[in-house]
Amino acid sequence: MAELDVNLIDGLAALVLLTAFLIVATGRMRTLVRVFALQSLALGLLAAAVAYSTGYWHIYIVAALTILLKALVIPRIIDRVMDRIQVANDVEPSVRTPSSLLIAGGLAILAYYVAEPLIQSGETITAGALALSLAVVLIGLFVMISRKKAITQVIGLLVMENGLFMAALSLSYGMPLIVELGVFFDIMVAVLIMGVFVFRINRTFDTLDTSFLRRLRD
């Protein structure tokens, strides 16, 4: 395998992680969606690079689908939802941004630490990306936990999914095509349903702050 391919793949994986950090760092909803689109684009390119270097044609399809759905369609849907219910442009984190960044950094280090033995024994050329993808998954989860708005939680989920996708790519050059397609379909439906949900939450409570959902208990 050519060295350049590995470098390219690792570089793109690093870009995916970088965008995950940007998602934590940004304070604007619109930027958040743009950064997510950028992350998906990087992920799509990564998949294409993997396809190129391994020669598996089905990964090309996955790559194309990733770019189409996650980088173009889903951000558009989220934008649409935000337009309709007129979300304020602030992210409203429940953990302050510098602390969030430090926590995200800590999570990344944890991921590195955990993944290290796997990387040493990995056979695929993309093994190095495993640590990065684990970090992205954890950061996605953290975004879901630490951001109040329902839409940010959707984005956190999508970031997690991106991380999982990258992990699948790096461990076994992706799952079988049919599984991938199923996942894409799932995500698509999930986003749509979430969109409706967010809309409902907004109408019922006049806010998107999910901490209000706690009132449902009583």
Binding mask 12-31 for another protein (x = CB under 8 A): -xxx-xx--xx--x-x----
Binds another protein by CB under 8 A, chosen from 88, 109, 179, 193 = 109
- Reading the block at residue 60, the tokens are 């090309």
DSSP string, 76-97: HHHHHHHHHHT--SB--BSS-H
Question: Does residue 97 belong to the site contacting another protein (CB under 8 A)?
Answer: yes
Nearer to another protein, 11 or 176 (CB): 11
The neighbouring-strand residues paired with 147 are 93
Residue 131 binding another protein, by CB under 8 A = yes
Buried b (16+ CB within 10 A) or exposed e, 44-74: bbbbbbbbebbeeebbeebbebbbebbbeeb
For residue 164, count other CB atoms closer than 10 A to its CB: 16
Which residue, 133 or 202, is less far from another protein as judged by CB? 133
Contact call for residue 115 and another protein (CB under 8 A): yes
Binding residues vs another protein (CB under 8 A): 3-4, 7, 10-11, 13-15, 17-18, 21-22, 25, 27, 96-99, 101-102, 104-105, 108-109, 112-113, 115-116, 119, 128, 131-132
